Amino acid sequence: MGSKLCIGVDLGATNIRVALGDETGIKKRIVEKTDRLHGSLGISEQIVSMVRRIGVEDVCAIGIGSIGPLELSRGRIVNTPNLPFKDIPIVKPLSEEFDIPVRLLNDCCAAVLGEHVYGAGKGIKNLVYITFSTGLGGGAMVDGHLLQGKDGNAHEIGHLTIDANSELLCGCGCRGHWEAYCSGANIPNYARWLIQSDEAREKFKQTIENPPSSTEEIFSKANEGDLLSSWIVEKIGEVNAVGFADVINVYDPELITVGGSIAIENPDLILKPILSQVSRHVINRLPKIRITLLLRDTVLYGALALAMQGD
Ligand SMILES: [Zn+2]
């Protein structure tokens, strides 16, 4: 008897990744740029074609971890800010094509499931995953139960309010959300705002003329010891400590794993300020906080774990 084969799909705004695997891990994978040229149906057709290529023979189910927001009851992505289509059907076109169960989850929900089955959270029942990339998101498992919400969009933690009177607007249009400070897309904006502050003027009279402008530049200069960039990274860390504390106070996790390209590339710069400051804002007993062992494959492993559920 061989082990049960499944297919996992990580549906992102930039790439679609499809993996064939079993409970021991990923056996084979295909990656393609997400098709933005053939309408909303082009996305599901692309997934169908990739699934065919990786091979559906002897496969029990397909799991998909997708960008949101989702409308889980209809198996669709709706009004995503990250793709130019309003309504993207996912589950139905795949179910019609392949005669096996097709399951869909928000990517961060999938990621925490991936951590629980394959990653550092193996066997841990109270677990949170937080990702720092273009956006800032998270998924939570409480008492062994994956939290999803009415439409599958529970714990949009990037949109926790850090400061309701903030001058920084989030991409969603609200004021002072966590993501407005600390996501890859918004860090440059937060940095510009910081640099104009009285505190910065006093501290950095000499260097302020040539400030770092991109998220990448801020972190690479901080890694080289540049004082202004290090100060910006410290400020990002202060906000992250508040965000992590909110998450800890709400979910009471035993472990938080941290992923996303910014955290994976700058583990110390992201984690150290959180670890040193989070206890100031927390009422619950502190969890362990660490970088994900699954690195850039967290969602893909989660999708695979989702496919294996329930059979
Ligand atoms: Zn927001």
pLDDT for 157-185, tens place per residue? Answer: 999 999 999 999 998 899 999 999 999 99
Q: Spell out the domain ranges in the chain.
A: 5-106, 120-293
* 75-96 confidence digits (pLDDT tens): 999 988 778 899 999 999 999 9
- From the CA of 60, how far away is ligand 1's center (Å)? 38
- From the CA of 65, how far away is ligand 1's center (Å)? 21
DSSP codes joined into one string, 209-265: TS---SHHHHHHHHHTT-HHHHHHHHHHHHHHHHHHHHHHHHH--SEEEEESHHHHH
Percent of the chain surpassing pLDDT 70: 98
- From the CA of 179, how far away is ligand 1's center (Å)? 6
**What integer pLDDT is reported at residue 234 of this predicted model?**
97
**What integer pLDDT is reported at residue 297 of this predicted model?**
96
pLDDT surpassing 60 at residue 261 = yes
If you ran DSSP here, which 8-state letter would residue 284 be given? S
Q: What is the pTM of this model?
A: 0.93
- From the CA of 169, how far away is ligand 1's center (Å)? 8
Question: Which has more pLDDT, 207 or 192?
Answer: 192
CB neighbours of residue 27 within 10 Å: 13
- Fold match flag (5-106 vs 120-293): yes
Using DSSP bridges, classify how beta strands 255-259 and 288-291 pair: parallel, antiparallel or unpaired.
parallel
Please tell us whether the domain made up of 5-106 is placed in CATH 3.30.420.40. yes
- From the CA of 6, how far away is ligand 1's center (Å)? 35
- From the CA of 161, how far away is ligand 1's center (Å)? 8
Number of separate helices (H) and strands (E) present in the chain: 11, 13
- From the CA of 171, how far away is ligand 1's center (Å)? 6
Question: 219: Cβ–Cβ under 8 A, 6 or more apart, which residues?
Answer: 229, 233, 262, 265, 266, 269
* 24-76 confidence digits (pLDDT tens): 999 999 999 999 999 999 999 999 999 999 999 999 999 999 998 899 999 99
Average pLDDT over residues 204-227: 88
- From the CA of 174, how far away is ligand 1's center (Å)? 5
CB neighbours of residue 145 within 10 Å: 10
Q: Quick one: 201 exposed, middle or buried, by C-beta within 10 A (0-12, 13-18, 19+)?
A: exposed
- From the CA of 220, how far away is ligand 1's center (Å)? 26
Of 33, 11, 35, residue with least CA distance to 110: 11
CB neighbours of residue 199 within 10 Å: 11
- From the CA of 80, how far away is ligand 1's center (Å)? 13
- Residue 1 CA to residue 262 CA, distance in Å, equals 42
* 105-156 confidence digits (pLDDT tens): 999 999 999 999 999 999 999 999 999 998 899 999 999 999 998 888 887 8
Please tell us whether the domain made up of 120-293 is placed in CATH 3.30.420.40. yes
**What integer pLDDT is reported at residue 1 of this predicted model?**
41
